[in-house]
Amino acid sequence: MQGTDVLNLNRYELESGLTATNKLKTVVDRWTPTNTDTNIPRAGSTIRRSTGIVNDVLEDGSFVRLKTVTLGYTLPKFSKVIKSANVYVTAQNLVTWTDYSGYDPEVNSFGSDNLSLNTDYNAFPSTRTFIAGLRLGF
């Protein structure tokens, strides 16, 4: 996926100056009188909430994902009853390469609401799944 942006509302909340919530590690670089070259507000500030969404929480959502991989092996014939046997393993959502700072750039926190596509707000990442199996032919 190339050329998409993601609105990271998690950063909007967790880098705000409000002190009543948990914070991301990046708030260590917040505004102070000696650190004025930052876009993270000072501790206790409500400015991020009052200015609305700004560019720093709109991130590049481009990614490459290894979505589904299946490896199988056909066993040599070993029985008169079993004509064929195949063992396999399948992995889904194995790895994602992205510069997006959240869990998953392929996100839609608000379900089927097409007006909120690519909005990351407390969304769970895609699950990584492993399936193993044995296929027998009689």
- ∠ CA(31), CA(119), CA(3), 5° rounding? 95
Q: How many CB atoms lie within 10 A of CB 100?
A: 20
**Torsion sign over Cα 112, 117, 122, 123:** positive
- Strand segments (E) across the chain: 5-8, 58-60, 63-75, 84-98, 119-120, 129-137
| DSSP-assigned beta bridge partners for residue 70 | 90
| Mean pLDDT, rounded, of the chain | 84
pLDDT of residue 136: 94
pLDDT of residue 121: 85
Residue 79: band (very low, low, confident or very high) from pLDDT cuts 50, 70, 90: confident
Show the tokens assigned to 100: 């997006």
